Structure 1
Amino acid sequence: MDKFVSVIVTVYNTAEFLEECLTSVTNQIYQNVEIIVVNDGSTDGSAEIIEQFKKADSRCQSIDLHENHGVGFARNRGIEQATGEYIYFVDSDDFLEHRAVENLVQSIGELPFILGRNKRVSNKEDSLIEIDDSEIRVRRHKKLFKVFQNLTVLNSLFSMEIIREHSLRFSEETDCYSEMAFLLPLYIEYKNVYYVRESVYFLRVRNDPISNPSLTQLGREKLLTDFVVVYKQLKEQYKGNNTAEILLDKILLHLYRSKFILIMRDATKINSSFEQLASAMERIDPEQYKGQNMLVRRELKALSKQNLKSYKRYINFHHFARETKQSLSSKKKMYRQIYKDVFLKRPLKEKTIVFESFLGKNYADSPRYIYEYMVENYPEYEFVWSFNETNHDLPGNAKQVKRLSLTYYYYMATAKYWVSNMRQPLHLQKREGNVFLQTWHGTPLKKLVFDMNEVYSANPKYKQQFYEQSRLWDYLIASNPYSSDIFKSAFKFDKVMLEDGYPRNDTLYINNNSDYITKMKTKLNIPLDKKVILYAPTWRDDEFYEPGKYRFNLKFDLNKLKEKLGDEYVILLRMHYFIADDLNIEGYEDFVYNMSTYEDIADLYLISDILITDYSSVFFDYSNLRRPILFYTYDLEKYRDQLRGFYIDIESEVPGPLVKTTDEIIEAVLNIDVVTEDYKEKYDAFYDKICSWESGNASEKIVKKVFPKQ
């Protein structure tokens, strides 16, 4: 166990992960190491973090490259400086289980190299795994090709002797697949590969593959370009070496079937990718085709002969047959296939608009108010509403279609205009001529999408999917200057921002009168002799139990609230639309009213005398009414510091007190006039910041900008 190991960490713009990575390296149980950190021209603050570790740990040294040369170049510089008997590579966005190096050193014996286990994780919490290494076992990997098919040197211990003997180096001409040049000589020389399952290396799946992707998250076109360069170089270098050529051909075929063929689903990309792919396929041994099915063999032959016309015919049929086979497995997939292959080829209806609110859950929010203005003023348009249940009482003569039905897909394919306050399904395609008005659904307090570091939700691909969906938007509504600035950053939005206020807030100016409030209270069976408290909390990202469904339990004492406030007040509950569980209010029916399924929260604002919320954006809209707001922030530290983070200082900027217990809620409500007076100056400043664009006619302004009138 006295083997000296050189740990080579290559860094390029990974400051957000680097401290965690280097901490996992310096905290390894096996301490007989030198740590060579190669900074490959980072511009994001990585250099400062590296310096901190060098000062704190004498084993750390650095190589500072002034320009970015790529991971292959950086690893080669690390090898040249290394003095260890063994080399161990680390990527700076990953991290190690604390026994990873020790378990490899303990197991390598006289072997020239040995592999450990790699585990993909989205964040540190995913790395909490149990490892029983009471008896470390060295195992022979039975499927040698499978090992090299992964094309990674991570969590492998290589003897410096074998590196020198075979002059092992990484390719420096590309960003991706530089490992092939390093690994190929080992595949040729050794027939057995040994690994230690108890040595674990955590490969981080970055949750933001748009702003700063890892090499594995680069687009397939980039992967194809780089692979072809390395493949052709190695084919030439190892010409006549049957073992090497067969391996290279197998890897090419594997990547064609798993990655490159997917590029060809998009007909617009076939021409640009064909030449590169064909230049590689013409070097492949036709004997390698034998394991493929007949259609793929024809594709490969067309590529090797550089016959673009034939290839297009085969590949288009390939994808059509595959999608058709999938479509026959369910009605949902069949509808998507008909949408793609039939409806999208129909002409656009220039005067048709599809409206949707909260993924078809209700008739509400800004899409509702835009629609109602257009019904009165733009009768020449055809209106379609998408609902989960098509039994809504709408003004005008809009057609109601069931969301994700065949009729829905027909109108989504043929309507020129889409109006929605949420993201659309990923499989919907925006045609040339389509116009998407994204109204969004609130002014943000919580950090959104690309302004978030970690994503604590059920979907680790959240940022990538959000980016793809938001590229469809042509117009985005911002209700105030604060929102406009945030949306540009958080959504990476660079098209037309409509800065006219929220259509959904028009009613707060138009209907803020006693007649309307009395009418709504009567409609909802709310006692006319009681004041109303509206409780509208948000959801917690980490309280999900399956994608899109979140739990929430009331965190205050209803008995005590009823006892102290019940003579004068009633409480309306309005839970976030993500929250799926029904709340149990049995025994409190004369005091608590669950309005979570009521379609338009604006009506609840209007009939409420006090709003209690937490981190929900409802308080931004409610502030238009200039009525009291209480913030029930019982989990402030966790929510602010761990889950999401805020755009404003909630403790100093919000227009109302932060309360954390049932008793504090009661005290604030019983003294609401004092609270109002205490927060008047802060409320006025907040109103000027958030409500300055609101005038009660946002719908009119926006419609005139987006929809041409005859």
Structure 2
Amino acid sequence: MGKVSVIIPVFNTTEFLKKSIGSLIEQTYKNIEIILIDDASSVACSNSLEELSKQDKRIKLHHFAANMGVAAARNFGIEKATGEFLYFMDSDDYLPKQTIEILINHIKEFNIIRGQTRKVYFSSALAVILDGLYQVKIYGDKKYTLIKNESVLNSLFRADFVRDNQLTFDEDVRLYSDLTFMVPAFMVAGQIPYVKEAVYFKRKRNDAINNPSLSQQDTEVKIKSYMRVYNSLKKQAISFLDESETEEEAEDIQKALDYLDRHFLNFYRKTIVSYFLDETRIMPLFNELAESFQLIDSKELNKYSWVLKNEAKPILVNNLKKYIRVSKRHHELRQLRNGLKKKRKFYIYIYKKFFLKRKADEKLVFFESFLGKNYSDSPKYIYEYMLKNNPEYKFVWSFNEKKDIPGNATQVIRFSLRYFYYLAKSKYWVSNSRLPRYLDKPAGNIYLQTWHGTPLKHLVFDMDDVHSADPNYKQHFYDQSRRWDYLSSPNQYSSEIFKRAFKYDGKMLEFGYPRNDILYKRDTEKEIRALKEKMGLPLDKKVILYAPTWRDDEFYGRGKYKFTLQMNLDQMKKELGDEYVIILRMHYFIASVLDITEYEQFAYDFSSYDDIAELYLVSDMLITDYSSVFFDYANLKRPILFFMYDLEKYRDTLRGFYIDVENEVPGPILRSTDEIVRSIKDIDGVQMSYRDKYRIFYERFCKWDDGDASKKTVEVVFENE
């Protein structure tokens, strides 16, 4: 079989190169050359390419002096290719080992063969390929469906076919240049086989802010590029149709014309219409849009809805003012139609259409803690301070169910109509987790984000791969955090991380956490006894608090995580039950329900208990893993044990840590129940051996807390406004 030239443009994709190029080196089909075109990348990226190019003699590295774009790099690669076949790849993607072999074995007499593209968010994915069970489908009349993703990727081309037909990528556009190569190729290719077992892993980057792919760039640029490509291809295809010599050739070109029109109209519906929700964006693009619509075949346009046809009329006659009126009316209808689909969507529609237009109450404060699950954390203590010291304010609390709380705050059920009404009416929002992304802020609103812990695990933009249930986590977080006016920080270490990991440049409240005020003001024998009585805990036994965090890769769905208890409660009860009881407190993201009925009078599930700070006070020691609870608990200077049975996986794969856990945490790292039991039986010795580490830890992470964080926060956010 012939040589395959794999052409890869590279521009600042340092972190992906090893995986991408490594997947080519490991291909089972060995007769390949790897043509890397460094499109004037950073020094770091260029150096990485130099090092990688030394690993395999089949790699040919070329450097551009100036950034020329993907299209120019691919055209250059075609010129340099010496193979009988051409294969294009992006430098952040990767392949299973057999992909090129499967394509080369099935191209036979055809000029092009396509494989399957799978979008992935991680640096590792799996494709199960069963030898001999390949399903090859030949596309003729419907071949244009094979380029529905506008991509040249995972297509194998005969090099002579490409050169004989002078196929190139349009270098004048930064986006959608693949179409300028693929559509002309398909017009002259005849039939095209597709084999789904030839898999290509297309990385969908999870950081569209720091490191966007081409497809994640500015929408206006995308629209302009797309219209230019459509106009060029449509005119080219029309000229080909005029010059066609056979009926069969004309039919093939007509299919290309129909495909281009359908593709353009779908792009208009999904991208341009959404972009034009802000009507100020219409005028700069309108003339180009009108030019594109002039090229659409009326028969194809008539297949679409009356809404689209109604919008097309003023575009076709280049009537900007009328189009703006029609577009505005249609957007209102779309929003209403969308709002009528579900109750919450209807409430969001009412919120945006009506509630936000009302004047906000300057003395109304809206509180929420942990997505409405609890009356707890910093919002609770800010509220209770204001109850006593700021009687001129009125308060609203958002809960999933009604709570018994002090004061006369209005309570609203989260996502009810009253919830949206009071969000719009409140001058102030106070929350310790992100409020929904679709909540536009009222004019003049002040949003205090108290956050919910000193970070141990890498956060947001400090994370590489995102293993959570929300692959768009970084983009969504960025959008939501742009609304924060103030952010609470518990220590200097956190301030530095928050600024970087959240991309936050707003006002930082560096007073410690209001939620920790209780640890200084109520740490008395009398208060602790009263809390134990309220909780139903025995007064004659010591209390162990076990508070683990969630695992990003173990979930039922978005925001609902699994947790399997690795601690042997039978052994714990047998060896410690005479002196201790244990409180289990799961993270609020964890949806798993613990069944501990057989451990009655020893194990207590307090996962639904509102305020973990009160659990800190009643406990004599803490067992945790990677939860930020130990930073807060350290304010009490009581023993902390770290049950990190999956340390390597959590540190190296899921999140990564900001501190050197094995050397800096103020307690022993334990891997088994045996180790936990031994440490508890010798807790005085453990505490003594970690005395110096604890002192250093306390100075670094706890010294801002002094019991007055709520007071200081209110003075800045409310009294200074």
TM-score interval for Structure 1 and Structure 2 normalised by the shorter chain:
over 0.9
Please give the secondary structure, in 2, of the residue aligned with 1:127: coil
Residue 110 of structure 1 and its aligned partner are, at CA, apart by 2.6
Q: Shift of the alpha carbon at 1:226?
A: 1.5
Check if 1:622 corresponds to 2:621: no
> Is 1:533–2:532 an aligned residue pair?
no
Query: Cα 1:523–1:136, aligned 2, differ >3 Å: closer, same or farther?
Result: closer
C-alpha separation in 2, matches of 1:367 and 1:34: 60
Q: Could you tell me whether the CA contact under 8 Å between 1:148 and 1:187 is conserved in 2?
A: no
Letter in 1 for 2:366: V
Indicate the percent of aligned positions where both proteins have the same amino acid: 50
**Which residue of the other structure, out of 264, 277, 285, is the alignment partner of 1:265?**
277
Structure 1 range deviating more: 529-538 or 267-276: 267-276
Worse-matched range after superposition: 318-327 or 442-451:
318-327
Match of residue 669, structure 1, among 673, 680, 686: 680
TM-score (norm 1): 0.96
Q: Residue 299 of structure 1 contacts residue 314 of structure 1 at CA under 8 Å; is this kept in 2?
A: yes
Amino acid at match of 2:200: Y
Cα distance in 2 for residues equivalent to 1:287 and 1:550: 50
Match of 2:340 among 325, 328, 334: 328
* Cα-to-partner distance string for 1:274-318 (whole Å, 9 max, x where unaligned): 454334334445454222222211212222333222212222232
Structure 1 stretches of at least 4 aligned residues deviating more than 6 Å after TM superposition: none
Superposition map of 1:191-202 within 5 A: 191-202=190-201
Other-structure match for 1:301: 313
Q: Is the 8 A contact 2:517 2:709 kept in 1?
A: yes
- Residue number in structure 1 paired with 2:25: 26
1:352 to 331, 354, 364: 364
Map 1:322-401 onto structure 2 (within 5 A). 322-390=334-402, 392-401=403-412
Q: Which residue of 1 aligns with 2:248?
A: none
Moved more, 21-30 or 214-223: 214-223
Residue 36 of structure 1 deviates from its aligned partner by: 0.3
Task: Give the direction of change, closer, same or farther, for the CA distance of 1:105–1:559 in structure 2 (3 Å limit).
Answer: closer
Pick the aligned partner of 2:509 from 498, 510, 519: 498
**Alpha-carbon deviations, 1:326-382, whole Å to 9, x = none?**
332322222122112221222222221110000000100000111111112222222
Matched ranges for 1:148-187 at <5 A? 148-187=147-186
TM-aligned CA distance change 1:376 to 1:341, over 3 Å: same
Residue 95 (structure 2) aligns with: 96
Q: Does 1:474 align with 2:485?
A: yes
Instruction: Tell me if 1:658 matches 2:669.
Output: yes
CA–CA distance in 2 between the matches of 1:250 and 1:539?
45
**1:290 matched residue in structure 2:** 302
With 340-349 and 420-429 compared, the bigger mean Cα shift is at 340-349
Q: What's the offset of the Cα at 1:504?
A: 0.3
Alpha-carbon separation, structure 1, partners of 2:696 and 2:421? 48
Q: Equivalent residue of 2:6, what SS?
A: strand
Please report how far the alpha carbon of residue 405 of structure 1 lies from its aligned counterpart in structure 2 after TM superposition: 0.2
Q: Which amino acid aligns with 1:326?
A: N
* More moved, 498-507 vs 263-272: 263-272
Q: Once the 2 structures are TM-superposed, how far is the Cα of residue 663 of structure 1 from its aligned partner? A: 2.0
Q: How does 1:226-237 map to 2 (within 5 A)?
A: 226-235=225-234
Match of 2:249 in 1: none
Alignment of 1:427-576 (within 5 A): 427-576=438-587
The Cα of 1:669 is off from its aligned counterpart by 1.5
| 1:407 partnered with 2:406 | no
| Change over 3 Å in CA distance of 1:259–1:539 after alignment to 2 | same
Q: 2:4 maps to what in 1?
A: 5
2:716 matches 1:705 = yes
Question: 1:215 matched to which residue of 2?
Answer: 214
The structural deviation recorded for 1:247 is 4.9
Give 1:113's aligned amino acid. I
Q: Which amino acid aligns with 2:180?
A: A
Gaps spanning 5+ residues in structure 2: where? 242-252
Alpha carbons of structure 1 residues 111 and 563: separation in structure 2 relative to 1, 3 Å: closer
Structure 2: distance between partners of 1:452 and 1:141: 45
Q: How many residues align?
A: 708
CA distance in 2, matches of 1:489, 1:598: 33
Equivalent pair of 1:14/1:93 in contact (CA under 8 Å): yes
The CA distance in 2 between the partners of 1:372 and 1:102, in whole Å, is 68
**8 Å CA contact 1:76, 1:170 repeated in 2:** yes
In the alignment, is the contact (CA less than 8 A) between 1:127 and 1:202 conserved in 2?
A: no
Matched residue type, 2:10: V
- Contact 1:339–1:410 under 8 Å retained in 2: yes
TM, length-normalised to structure 2: 0.94
How far apart are 1:509 and its partner, in Å?
0.9
The Cα of 1:46 is off from its aligned counterpart by: 2.9
1:87 alignment partner, SS class: strand
Question: C-alpha separation between the residues in 1 aligned to 2:541 and 2:258?
Answer: 82
